[in-house]
A = this chain, B = another copy of it.
Amino acid sequence: MATVVSSATMSLDGFIARDDDSVGALFDWYSAGDVEVPSANPDVRFRLTPTSAEFWRAWTSQVGALVVGRRLFDITRGWGGRHPLGVPVVVLTHTPPEDWSPAGAEDFRFVTSGIREAIAAASEIAGDGVVAVAAGTVAGQALQAGLLDAVAIDLAPVVLGSGRRYFGDVDPGTALLRDPDVVVAPGVTHLVYRLRPSAEEDAAAGVR
């Protein structure tokens, strides 16, 4: 069964982009070092510090499919059909794009029925791997629906002041998480938090 993990670079004040979708210095860590890590998209290159590169390789080697919202798909123009991670992408959208058929478009699937169906489709692709859910509205919907196993945050040493939040405009309510795995790298702190099982699941598992 796939593990479902939301993921994004986030500012100290909780933003993943400005309101105009620019990211300022948020993504500086993607080019902060000398270690080139693989990208399936020749237009997108990453040059990471050794510490971030090690984290990145471990993380990306697990990812079997992505779930993204329509906004991110539009901003990136569908990565020209080639997502840098080289894995299939499930796009949650009310209206699939017409006439979008770059090379690689066969790796993109458009789901209109909701976040559960989008994550189910991605999970089927990912098998026992990780489904990475892009932060923003889709991540908020996934957390709200109880579909996330973990929340990954690449915390950048930047304050943006305003902008788009990690869980978008969704209020997913309160969620409790376990202590994180922490990797402190130059220009970014990588944090991965697993959700705490609910009290009911704890009881079923014989905990407490």
Contacts and interface: CB of A to CB of B under 8 A. Distances in A.
A27 to B, nearest CB: 13
A64 B73 CA distance: 50
A158 B182 contact: no
A46 interface: no
A171 interface: yes
A193 interface: yes
Interface in A161-208: 161-162, 165-167, 171-180, 182, 184, 186-187, 189, 191, 193
Contacts of A184: 179-180, 182
How many copies of this chain?
A: 2
Residue among A161, A176, A184 with most chain B CB within 10 A = A161
Contacts of A176: 25, 157-158
A153 interface: yes
A14 interface: yes
Given A178-B157, A179-B184, A182-B189, A165 B13 contact: yes
Interface string A94-127: 0000000000000000000000000000000000
Contacts of A12: 151, 153, 166, 177, 193
Nearest to A18: B174
Given A12-B193, A13-B165, A180-B189, A158 B171 contact: no
Contact of A160 (B15, B157, B174, B189): B174
Contacts of A171: 161-162
Given A13-B166, A14-B14, A161-B173, 7 more contacts: A12-B151, A143-B159, A157-B180, A157-B193, A158-B174, A160-B174, A179-B184
Interface of A: 12-15, 24-25, 143, 151, 153, 155, 157-162, 165-167, 171-180, 182, 184, 186-187, 189, 191, 193
29 contacts: A12-B151, A12-B153, A12-B166, A13-B14, A13-B165, A13-B166, A14-B14, A14-B166, A25-B176, A143-B159, A157-B178, A157-B193, A158-B174, A158-B175, A158-B176, A158-B177, A159-B175, A161-B167, A161-B171, A161-B172, A161-B173, A161-B174, A161-B175, A179-B186, A179-B187, A180-B189, A182-B182, A182-B184, A189-B191
